[in-house]
Amino acid sequence: MKGFYNFSSTFLVILYIAGVLFGGYYLTYDAAKTQRTYNTFPELIPLMVVLTFLGLLAFLFLFLRSEGNVEIFYTASDSNVQQIDITQQSTHTNANQNAEQGGIARTLFAKAKQENVPIVESVLHSICQYLEVGIGALYVRSEQALEMKAAYALYRAEGEIIAYQLGEGLVGQVAKDGRAIKLSQIPEGYMEVVSGLGSAYPHYLMLFPAKNNNQEVKAVIELATFKNIVGQDLIFLEEMALLLAREI
């Protein structure tokens, strides 16, 4: 449907502009014809009506085309913070693609369970590698607190404990509300991705709840990325989070 709007709007705009140019040229290239135009103005009314209608139709299709590119989020008071309704997005995604992403997630999760490391570490690494994430962390909930149990490309001092109470910070808030939060335009210096070739600051920060079938938050996944996690990537993350919550 979006392709139809794109083609129709472009065609109608071109037709509208061509009609205006042709009409102007036809009425002004000959002085005698211009004089006669004043005497036969009522005959031009149908042409003016048609051109006006084409113009309005063209702008209508342009509006519909722009509406087709809009993604709906539940947005918090800060314009850079977005709480994401996964169900609402999933209903607009192709069912076959959803099934494909679910199959990929289940395959990677099964491989992660076979690795000789804690399941939270192997699952986090699988998520980060598949989504090409710069930095990742996974917090496991224990009653009213969440403690970081796994990290990806994140430096931690040996023995350092990073934990949040329920409702404390973004991690605690996601666990409390059970809804994902996405931050865009991360302040420079907040978090840095470092490699042997240099360093850079990620563009997005995603915090995603891992909920079981009873909608209980068992863990929170935090991802710092250079690309926006939307569409099929979001479906993949949702499936991995569900599998992890069941395992925990």
Handedness of CA 130, 134, 140, 144 (dihedral sign): negative
How many C-beta atoms surround the C-beta of residue 164 within 10 A? 20
The pLDDT-based confidence of 122 (bands split at 50, 70, 90) is very high
The fraction of the chain above a pLDDT of 90, given in percent, is 42
Report whether CATH 3.40.190.10 matches the domain 74-247. Answer: no
Q: Among 57-71, 130-144, 149-163, name the most confident range.
A: 130-144
What is residue 41's predicted lDDT score, i.e. its pLDDT? 55
Q: Three-class SS of residue 206?
A: strand
Signed CA dihedral, 177, 180, 184, 190: sign only = positive
Domain positions in the chain are 2-67, 74-247
What pLDDT score does 43 carry?
Answer: 58
pLDDT digits over 106-118, tens only? 999 999 999 999 9
Residue 18 has pLDDT above 60, yes or no: yes
What does the pLDDT average to over 228-232?
91
Average pLDDT of the chain, as a whole number: 77
Closest CA to 230 of 73, 64, 63, 103: 73
- Indicate if the pLDDT at residue 149 is higher than 90: yes
The predicted structure's pLDDT at residue 87:
47
Place of tokens 């209980």: 216
Give every CB contact of residue 113 below 8 A, 6+ residues apart in sequence. Answer: 119, 122, 247
Determine which of 14-18, 38-42, 112-116, 239-243 has the lowest per-residue pLDDT on average. 38-42
When pLDDT is averaged across residues 150-169 and rounded to a whole number, the result is 88
Q: Tell me whether strands 135-142 and 145-152 are parallel, antiparallel or unpaired.
A: antiparallel
- Please say whether the beta carbons of 120 and 138 come within 8 A: yes
Q: Residue 176 has what pLDDT?
A: 95
DSSP letter for each residue of 102-154: HHHHHHHHHHHHHSSS-HHHHHHHHHHHHHT-SEEEEEEEETTEEEEEEEES-
Q: What is the pTM of this model?
A: 0.61
More confident residue, 215 or 195: 215
* pLDDT band at residue 159 using 50, 70 and 90 as cut-offs: confident
The answer for 203, left when phi > 0, alpha when psi is -120 to 50, beta otherwise, is alpha
> What does the DSSP 8-state code read for residue 71?
P
Measure Cα distances from 60 to 52, 71, 122 in Å.
12, 20, 50
Give the other-Cβ count within 10 Å of 5's Cβ: 18
Mean pLDDT of 180-204: 77
State residue 195's pLDDT score: 73
Q: pLDDT tens across 27-85, in order?
A: 555 556 556 655 555 555 666 666 677 667 666 666 555 443 333 233 333 445 555 55
Q: Looking at residue 47, what is its pLDDT? A: 65
Rounded mean pLDDT of 7-22?
Answer: 68
DSSP string, 32-53: HHHHHHHHTGGGGHHHHHHHHH
